[in-house]
Amino acid sequence: MTSIVDFEIEQGSTFTRTMSVESNKTPVNLTGYTLAGQLRKGYSASESINFDIEVINALIGKIKISLTSSTTSALIYNKYVYDIEIADPTGVVSRILEGSMTLSLNVTR
């Protein structure tokens, strides 16, 4: 079920992406699920940044992941890795999205 998607983050801007969670091209009903996601400098980095994740429509698996502008302002590395996981009501965890995030530095402060 894992999709690999690479993103660009604009430093100092709000990062938001809306997506559908699917299994075999069928939307996953996310009722009762919990979601979590983190951004790190590297896979073994101890420091992490949590995504804000909102379920927009549980019945059709629609979610929104985001980072605030203050969070992206504090990013300083060129490239990060991330993933998003879901846990079903029984506690089974699945990774649904992963990839890299490249930072585009800003000039205006």
What SS3 state is found at 48? coil
Q: Does position 99 have pLDDT exceeding 90, yes or no? A: yes
Tokens of 40: 């790190």
Categorize the per-residue pLDDT at 4 as very low, low, confident or very high, splitting at 50, 70 and 90: very high
Structural domains of the chain ordered from first start = 3-104 (2.60.40.10)
Enter the pTM of the model: 0.90
More confidently predicted of 1 and 4: 4
Spatial separation of the C-alpha atoms in residues 93 and 51, rounded to whole Å: 17
Query: What pLDDT, on the 0 to 100 scale, is given for residue 106?
Result: 87
Q: What is the pLDDT of residue 12?
A: 95
User: What tokens appear for 75 in the block?
Assistant: 């990013």
pLDDT (tens digit per residue) in 35-73: 999 999 999 999 999 999 999 999 999 999 999 999 999
